[in-house]
Amino acid sequence: MPTYRPGPVSLVLAALVALFLLLPLLAVIPVSLTPTRMLAMPSGELSLRHYRALTEDPRWINSILLSIRIGVVSSAFSTVLALCFSLGVWMFQPRFTAALVGFVLLPMVVPPVVSAITLYFLLTSISGVSSFFGYDTWLGVAMAHAVMTVPFATVLILVSLSQLDRRIDLAARGLGATVWERATRIIMPNIKFGIVTAALLSFVLSWEEIGVTLFITSVNAITLPRLMWMGLRDNIDPAIAALSVILIIITVLVLAARSVVVRLRRPN
Amino acid sequence: MKAYLSDRMGAALLMAPLLLFLGAAYAWPFFGVVNWSFTLPEPGLGQYGTLLSDPLVQSVFVRTLRIAAIVTIVSVAAAYAITVVWVRGTPAQRVIAEFCILVPFWISVLTRAFGWVALLSNRGLFNTWLQAIGFISEPLTLVRNEFGVIVGMTHFLIPFAVFPLASSMRSLDDRVLLAARGLGSSRMRTFWSVFVPMTRSGIIGSALIVFVFSLGFFVTPAILGGGRSVMVAELIYLRIFQSPDWGLGAAISVVLVLFVGALMALVFRYVRPKQLI
């Protein structure tokens, strides 16, 4: 029980910061209801036309479907690779573990714009060989996203492995389980929450990835953030406000559901 | 001996796919970019010479450092204020603070930048309101300039600044604060002379994380700066796509990586990596 609670000055300052953090998220709500074709505050009547545009305009629908496809493929790929790598680290504790993990975490710490130019180099090089896998293709984007999300998946899985009791693995080993049995029947069932979280986080990171995607797509592989970007740079399309409101609502619902799950999993 | 060998084989087999993937899809092309910086348009150190002498490139670097420094100070101070309540508030205060930190954290950078455009643009909320109450007659220019960039980046980076601060505040021993109060120090004095110094590692960690992040920031400055307040990352983008000068773009990237690497080394000299999470 903390005996030292924040005083009135702290509370006022924190409330100001909280307001600052929520303000831009709240601001998109009125804009999304404007009846005009331009970005403006609604004056008088409200309209849902920008929400309708999202469901009727094929550009938005195609981008949403493409982003889901890329997210699923890149998340599956990065989760499997991260899981194998983390199992290797945890079960065998090889030498140079720190250096190897550090190498895997590089895409997370290198400035995103440098990763972007690096992946641009990679995909344009591949484009010279293959036309359906390289610059401005959905497979190329999925691979680039896997590079960017795999460090996060690895961190999450390594963290949940670090909370696992080594003695259950030793017991399985002593009873004659093979490496495959230990991994799939002893270790993985115990870290499944971490694996699912890693897959979800990878999907979300891919779903909203823009910094790298801008460098590696031009006209074919238009993901949802890429389409939003185009709408934000030129003249601002209020459909982006409608989309933002929907994304914010989904985020709040998922976070609320997550906090309920976390509370239920806790024994007390 | 056999078991030892099979252990090593198993580790190698499990770890190889990811290491090979990142080696081929990340390390190799990075050296390709380094190679560009020395060979395009002609072999030599010419692009690094340009970097040192071109006034445009230099002004972008200076602006980036200035914006990063301002954003770091404001973000860490703001994060400190809300983290105090998140870590040490009553249960209800904690839930509210956590909501205000985590919801923006999970929302995409584009949505958040767009929210600021909706608030600050000429026909946005602020200008509409200020004009409605007669406070101003002409809309204020709040975006497409450095002010908009700083506001947007601070908003993006506050949640990242919170986590190292929170971990250092959680590990602080309450009895020290009680002792200070018991010895007659006021609340203010206890805060400034005991609480803040004891969370120093969190402050250093969060300042360096925010600073490093803001050096390579791309999306927010590009949207809220409107092409007028170009930072290093946007300069790289422009050199690659608008005035194709891949060599210079690559050289700027290499310098950025070296600079960030040096800063990260500094982080880990003062704070252990575990304290940052």
The answer to whether the beta carbons of residues A154 and A86 sit under 8 Å apart is: yes
What residue numbers bound the domain in which A211 lies?
61-225
- Within 10 Å of residue B172's Cβ, how many Cβ atoms? 18
Domain regions of chain B by residue span: 1-39, 53-276
Give me the CATH code for the B53-276 domain, please.
Answer: 1.10.3720.10
What does the alpha-carbon distance between residue B272 and residue B276 come to, in Å, rounded to a whole number? 7
Output the six-digit token pair for A77.
Answer: 């790929």
Please say if the pLDDT value at position A180 is more than 70. Answer: yes
- Once rounded to an integer, what is the mean pLDDT over residues B237-257? 89
Whether residue A172 is contained in a domain is answered as yes
Q: Is residue A48 part of a domain?
A: no
d(CA A93, CA A83): 15
| CATH number for the domain that contains residue A193 | 1.10.3720.10
pLDDT at site B277: 44
User: Do residues B205 and B38 lie in contact, with contact meaning Cβ atoms separated by under 8 Å?
Assistant: no
* Whole-structure pTM value: 0.89
Residue with tokens 């700027």: B252
Q: How far apart are CA B140 and CA A101, in angstroms?
A: 49
Q: Is the CB of residue A240 less than 8 Å away from at least one CB of chain B?
A: yes
Query: What is the complex's ipTM, to 2 decimals?
Result: 0.89
pLDDT tens digits, one per residue of A100-147? 999 999 999 899 999 999 999 999 999 888 778 889 999 999 999 999
Nearest CA in chain A to B16: A85
Asked if residue A114 lies in contact with residue A45, where contact means CB atoms within 8 angstroms, the answer is no
Six token digits for residue B119: 């608030």
Taking each helix axis from N to C terminus, what angle separates A224-233 and A58-92, rounded to the nearest 10 degrees?
A: 130
Q: Which among A12, A21, A109, A159 is the top mutation candidate for probing chain B, defined by the most B β-carbons within 10 Å of its own β-carbon?
A: A21
From B53's Cα to the closest Cα of chain A, the distance in A is 22
Amino acid at residue number B246? W
Model confidence over B91-104: pLDDT tens digits?
899 989 999 999 99
CB within 8 Å: A17 and B90: no
**How many CA atoms does the CB half-sphere of B109 hold within 13 Å?**
24
Question: In A, residues 216-235, which contact B (CB 8 Å cutoff)?
Answer: 225, 228-229, 232-233
Interface check for A241 against chain B (CB to CB < 8 A): the answer is yes
Chain B CB contacts of A143 under 8 Å are 25
Amino acid identity of residue A30, one-letter, is: P
| A24: CB partners within 8 A, 6+ apart | B112, B114, B115, B116, B118, B119, B155
Q: Determine, yes or no, domain membership for A9.
A: no
**Cβ atoms A105, B19 nearer than 8 A:** no
Inter-chain CB proximity B125 and A88 less than 8 Å = no
Say if A91 falls within a structural domain: yes
Q: Which residues fall within 8 angstroms of residue A107, CB to CB, at 6 or more apart?
A: A115, A147, A148, A150, A151, B22, B26
Q: How far apart are CA A240 and CA A250, in angstroms?
A: 15
Which of A21, A89, A150 is facing B15, going by the closest CB pair? A89
Residue A93 near residue A168 (C-beta atoms within 8 A): no
> How many folded domains does chain A comprise?
1
Q: Are A41 and A31 in contact (CB under 8 A)?
A: yes
Amino acid identity of A42? P
For residue B91, give Cα distances in angstroms to A12, A118, A241, B96, B98: 17, 46, 34, 9, 11
pLDDT over 70 for what percent of chain B? 95
Partner-chain residue, chosen from B8, B17, B158, that has the shortest CB–CB distance to A81: B17
d(CA B172, CA B86) in angstroms, rounded, equals 14
Three-class secondary structure of residue A217 per DSSP:
coil
Is A125 in CB contact (< 8 Å) with chain B? Answer: yes
Q: Find out whether B150 and B191 touch, Cβ atoms under 8 Å.
A: no
Contact B177 A117 (CB under 8 A): no
pLDDT value for A246: 92
Query: Tens digits of per-residue pLDDT, A163-178?
Result: 999 999 999 989 988 8
**Distance in angstroms (rounded) separating the CA atoms of residues B149 and B113:** 9
A12 touches chain B (CB under 8 A): no
Tell me how far the alpha carbon of residue B2 is from its chain's centroid. 49
Is the confidence at residue A268, as pLDDT, over 80? no
Q: Across the interface, do A247 and B177 touch by the CB < 8 Å criterion? A: no
